[in-house]
Amino acid sequence: MERPLIAVLNGPNLNMLGLRQPEVYGRATLDDVEQVCVQAAERLDVAIDFRQTNGEGELVSWIQECRGRARGIIINPAAYSHTSVAILDALLAVDLPVIEVHISNIHRREAFRHHSYVSRAAIGVICGLGVRGYALALQAMTDMILDEDDQ
Ligand code: DQA
């Protein structure tokens, strides 16, 4: 049987990981994050489509492309979490399970980071656990897909 596809989408400035505020985000680069995801996907026997963009519209288009193609979306919308109704609407439109990931604990940070529009579309949110949050999200998403296939 074909492996289920999980989209792992990353928003603005995450291409700067490793260089960007290492005291907040750690030293891992976006390539390291992708490696964490590739290794987790191999272990879990799922396929992933790992992407990053700085553009809100591109993120919206990528979310739309997931409809009928992916079984779930793991998304770190970065700063757009706190601003983007367009990304929320796109996630609501695709009718797929969504897990929101943040590397840092947004609730320990500035008040404007405490609210995420995207969370309204998410089954769950993982934040503050560093890049391992992506592997945990892949584990949870795979469990949910297997549960759905069992029904
Ligand atoms: C982030 C948290 C956001 O508040 C911030 O704008 C980011 C990264 C995180 O992964 O911790 O760019 O999503």
Contact status, residue 111 vs residue 89, Cβ threshold 8 Å: no
- SS3 of residue 46 by DSSP: coil
- Cα(124)–Cα(116) distance, integer angstroms: 12
Model confidence at 151, in pLDDT bands (50, 70, 90)?
confident
Which atom belonging to ligand 1 lies closest to the Cα atom of 104?
A: 11
Domain span including residue 72: 5-150
Closest protein CA for atom 2 of ligand 1: 78
Q: Hey, CA dihedral for 41, 32, 53, 110, is it positive or negative?
A: positive
Q: What is the pLDDT of residue 26?
A: 87
Domain count across the chain: 1
* Average pLDDT of span 41-70: 98
| Amino acid, single-letter form, for residue 93 | A
- Grade residue 118 by pLDDT with cuts at 50, 70 and 90: very high
pLDDT of the residue at 106: 97
Q: Which ligand 1 atom is the nearest neighbour of the CA of 113?
A: 4
Give me the CATH number covering residue 46.
3.40.50.9100
Rounded Cα gap, residues 151 and 143, in angstroms: 13
